[in-house]
Chain A
Amino acid sequence: MLDYLLAQTVNGLVIGVLFALIATGLTIIFSILKVVNFAHGELYMMGGYFAYYVISWFALPPLPAVLAAMAISFAFAVMVERGLLTPLYSPTIERKADYGILITFGLSVFLRNIAIILFGPFPLRPPSFFAGDLVVGGVIVSYDRLVAAGVGLLLLGGLIFFLNRTVWGQALNAVSQSRESASIIGINSQRIYMLAFGLGGALAGGAGALIAPIYSLSPSMGLVPDTQAFVIVILGGLGSVSGTIISALLLGVAQNLFIAFLPDPSRGPSYANAFGLGIMMLVLLFRPTGIFGRQHVAMD
């Protein structure tokens, strides 16, 4: 029993790291662009597919493919931002929050359907990073999961370094706090928005690429992580990258343990996502305004 719990915890941590990648992307996008990206799960999904095709067309080894997928995701996200999101910054659009919601929602539907056409509805699975499992005592964890978690942690570390120690990262921070003040000191806000959305997309895409050998790819795989990312971001507080990471790990573990403890084993995995959603609904109910970072979502 202990071994089972341990295994579930480890798996939970692995999932948590990947959740953290997705959720921090969402956090960053919200912080800078002030929009809740309902298409975030689809960016994750596209990242996974980018990795798959990079491997099968260019015979890239799996790990560099992850980086390639992240780069492609970044570019793709920037295209989306330029194409669809620029009205958010123009003064002529009324009700920006509603626009942001609807356009990203529409985008998510669009991407899901285009994925079915382009990639086919059947699950695809790229090759493993490293075949085989690590066995420690009674706990078995596949190498793929370990690699995914490891690379994920590296990416998160790199992100934190980027945000705190580089000029661009600090520019991001500045814009998230005050758009006007940032432009006064010479930061080009247009470039920052592209960077923020691209970065969010790259993180989500990276997570997709890392998870692909473990769980395989399907066009609707983004739906669940999308809602999970919202759960995490609401729990951890927007604008706070570290808060997001911590709650991601917690949620990953909690969810897996929830499955473990649910008396009816057949229902467990199915209700696992509902569990996270239920938690989020409770949080939204009891701390609706205080959780989403420092300020309410308002465009002006």
Chain B
Amino acid sequence: MQGAPPLIEAVGLAKHFGGIFAVDHLDFAVFEGELVGLIGPNGSGKTTTINLLSGNLGIDAGLVRVRGQVVNGLPASGFAGVGIGRTFQITQLFGRMSVLENMLVPGLARPHAVKRAVVREARQHLEFLGLASLESLAAKNLSGGQQKLLELGRALMLRPAILFLDEPFAGVNPYLRDQIIGFVKVLHEAGRTFVIVDHDLDAIQRLVRRLVVMSRGKKIADGSLATVRENRDVIKAYSGT
């Protein structure tokens, strides 16, 4: 893995709203097979960073490279096409489409997708996530937890190289939290790369080995759990304003 370009890399990434930099010239790289946690106090720019790296928001300055290739100008569907999957803070499902259909959309959006194979793949993922029996239900009728899992499944259908999870543990009961942690672990061991944004430091620590901390749009720490925990800037950022 050494010598290979990072799976995804942000160089001098910047985004401003009005006069404020939500993301302030950020350098950030994730290599294949990693499981990175992205944390920081509220307003530090974590979700904006994810939005920039998944193409949901336009970049004001800087570059995003996927396996060495610049992907800046692409629309969100283009980012998905190069293997970037994500989930949203507030689940964004296709409410009036069935669970299976939700899974089929990204599957069939892939070039040269064959329906029968995609359906099989979708059912496999649903089985894995424990949602198989809900296949015909309209997505809006699922419970909150089931919806979160469905969104994860939908992202998996992209066959993503990297998965950004935006606050997967927000407002989630402990049972579901453990379920999600379990799923992520299994998927990671199978070779997927993850970047997880969340405030639930406990859950994050159970999963990740590398932690990136942001504050006010800048990266203030990037390293192993141990080093980041000792970092004075991090402590200041969390306890300060």
A and B touch in the complex (CB under 8 A): yes
Q: What's the interface size class on B, roughly?
A: under 10
Contact with B along A87-117 (1 / 0, CB 8 A): 0000000100000000000000000000000
A94 CB contacts on chain B under 8 angstroms: 95-96, 140
B interface majority secondary structure: loop
Q: B residues within 8 Å of A by Cβ? A: 95-96, 140
Complex Cα distance, B95 from A94, in Å, reads 10
* CB of A243 to closest CB in B, whole Å: 19
* CB of B98 to closest CB in A, whole Å: 16
Interface size on A, residues (CB 8 A): 1
Complex Cα distance, B96 from A94, in Å, reads 10
* CB of B16 to closest CB in A, whole Å: 16
* CB of A280 to closest CB in B, whole Å: 25
In the complex formed, the residue of B with least CB distance to A95 is B96
Complex Cα distance, B140 from A94, in Å, reads 11
In the complex formed, the residue of A with least CB distance to B140 is A94
* CB of A217 to closest CB in B, whole Å: 44
B140 CB contacts on chain A under 8 angstroms: 94
B95 CB contacts on chain A under 8 angstroms: 94
Q: Please give me the 3 A-B residue pairs with the lowest Cβ-Cβ distance, nearest first.
A: A94-B96, A94-B95, A94-B140
Within 8 A of B (CB), among A204-254: none
* CB of A242 to closest CB in B, whole Å: 22
Complex Cα distance, B162 from A145, in Å, reads 67
Complex Cα distance, B133 from A24, in Å, reads 53
Q: List 3 A-B contacts (CB under 8 A).
A: A94-B95, A94-B96, A94-B140
B96 CB contacts on chain A under 8 angstroms: 94
Complex Cα distance, B94 from A94, in Å, reads 13
* CB of B158 to closest CB in A, whole Å: 26
* CB of A93 to closest CB in B, whole Å: 13
In the complex formed, the residue of A with least CB distance to B96 is A94
* CB of B51 to closest CB in A, whole Å: 16
* CB of B197 to closest CB in A, whole Å: 24
Complex Cα distance, B124 from A103, in Å, reads 43
